[in-house]
């Protein structure tokens, strides 16, 4: 169970880049962090950096988003901040982009955010507290 002195953060897309950087720094600052990535083996080492809950999460899977939120609530008692970091991009001319690639981009970058918010927001509303980034 979490103490009120620290915040509980749920960060998506932590395998590389900005998400990993955020998770590392939050853990080093003593925060409680739910660290997620599609492949949890890529983030397993972060468990040694602090009070981390390491979970696999593909944000386009709404059921998996709910399972992550449920696990976070069970472990820490709440989620104070959701950081929707998971995302993809690609370079190239839009007219040359295969439709499947464009749809995947929207699935992750739009619906992925919607899925995580859908799972977290009821808990935040019930507590009248929380932030989604």
**45-74 residue pLDDT tens:** 999 999 999 999 999 999 999 999 999 999
Low-confidence ranges of the chain (pLDDT < 70): 1-4
Specify the DSSP element, H or E, that contains 112: helix 112-127
Q: What is the pLDDT of residue 64?
A: 98
Asked whether 117 and 82 are in contact (CB, 8 A), the reply is yes
Structure tokens at 99: 């439709």
pLDDT score at 112: 98
From the centroid of its chain, how far is CA 88?
Answer: 14
Taking CA atoms, 94 is separated from 46, 49, 86, 103, in Å, by 37, 41, 22, 12
Structure tokens at 34: 């739910």
Q: What is the per-residue pLDDT for 1? A: 52
DSSP sequence for 49-67? GSSEEEEE--TT-HHHHHH
Q: How far apart are CA 76 and CA 2, in angstroms?
A: 5
Which of 107, 63, 64 is CA-nearest to residue 86? 107
- Which pTM does this prediction carry? 0.92
Q: Is 130 left (phi over 0), alpha (psi -120 to 50) or beta?
A: left
Match domain 8-132 to its CATH number in 1.10.1060.10, 3.30.530.20, 3.40.50.720, 3.30.465.10: 3.40.50.720
- Cα–Cα distance between 80 and 5 in angstroms, integer? 12
pLDDT score, position 90:
86
For 56, the token pair is: 């696999």
Specify the pLDDT at position 5: 82
Q: What is the pLDDT of residue 4?
A: 62
Q: What pLDDT is recorded for position 29?
A: 97
């Amino acid at each position: 169970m979490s103490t009120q002195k620290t915040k509980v953060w749920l960060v998506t897309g932590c395998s590389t880049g900005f998400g990993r950087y955020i998770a590392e720094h939050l853990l080093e600052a003593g925060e409680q962090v739910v660290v997620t990535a599609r492949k949890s083996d890529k983030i397993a080492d972060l468990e040694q950096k602090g009070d981390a809950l390491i979970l696999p999460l593909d944000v386009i899977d709404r059921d998996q988003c709910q399972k992550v939120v449920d696990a976070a609530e069970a472990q820490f008692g709440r989620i104070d901040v959701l950081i929707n970091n998971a995302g993809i991009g690609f370079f190239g001319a839009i007219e040359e982009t295969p439709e499947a690639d464009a749809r995947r981009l929207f699935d992750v970058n739009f619906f992925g955010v919607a899925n995580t918010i859908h799972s977290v927001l009821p808990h935040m509303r019930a507590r009248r507290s929380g932030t989604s980034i």
